Amino acid sequence: DYDKGVLHPRVIAATMQAAAARGLPTVVDPKFRSFFAYRGATVFKPNRRELGAAIPGIDLSSARALVEAVGRLQVENLLLTLGAGGMVLVNRDAAVPPHLIESEAREVYDVSGAGDTVTAWVGTALAAKATPIEAAEVANIAAGVEVAKRGVATVSPAEVLAAHRGA
């Protein structure tokens, strides 16, 4: 969702309802205008700036505030990307502690496309029956590969596997 007007609220609602009816996971990388339109999303993936703009005054370092944000958004999981700080996965169940995924130290060449890489890899992993934590962990590795490339780049399964193995 790039706030270009293609994803009209009715399209978003119909798509979310259709996915829920079929038991399909939904992964959303929201932008400001439609930020609260994705109720029921499996994984809702804003970055720090986007979440802060949508929920002014939120303490992004507070686990409690992040759990409250999940409730306010009415999603299953919030995957908040933190740039060089990695990402944190927050489940709607307050009894499940937030899961911090640290970024791996590597040379960053260009961060363009990193969020899209995370979204794509989370969706792919969920479609392959990964848990949200597993999906986020794999996506974190993929994002680390992507930022080491020039411009918006694709990341292959072989590259993710090599990065995971430390090759």
d(CA 19, CA 68): 25
d(CA 79, CA 44): 6
d(CA 104, CA 57): 29
What pLDDT score was predicted for residue 50?
93
Tokens of 84: 């060089």
What pLDDT score was predicted for residue 33?
83
Burial class of 93 by CB neighbour count within 10 A (0 to 12, 13 to 18, 19+): exposed
* Total length of the chain: 167
What pLDDT score was predicted for residue 167?
55
DSSP codes of every residue in 81-112: E-GGG-EEEEESSTTS--EEEPPPP------T
Instruction: Say if residues 51 and 61 touch (Cβ distance below 8 Å).
Output: no
Using alpha carbons, select from 158, 155, 112, 118 the residue that is nearest to residue 138: 118
What pLDDT score was predicted for residue 108?
64
Active site residues: 116
d(CA 91, CA 149): 31
Please state the pTM of the whole predicted model.
0.91
What pLDDT score was predicted for residue 83?
84
What pLDDT score was predicted for residue 115?
86
- The mean pLDDT values, 10 residues at a time, for the chain of 167 residues are 77 95 95 89 95 94 93 97 92 92 71 84 96 96 88 89 83
What pLDDT score was predicted for residue 161?
92
Instruction: Say if residues 28 and 34 touch (Cβ distance below 8 Å).
Output: no
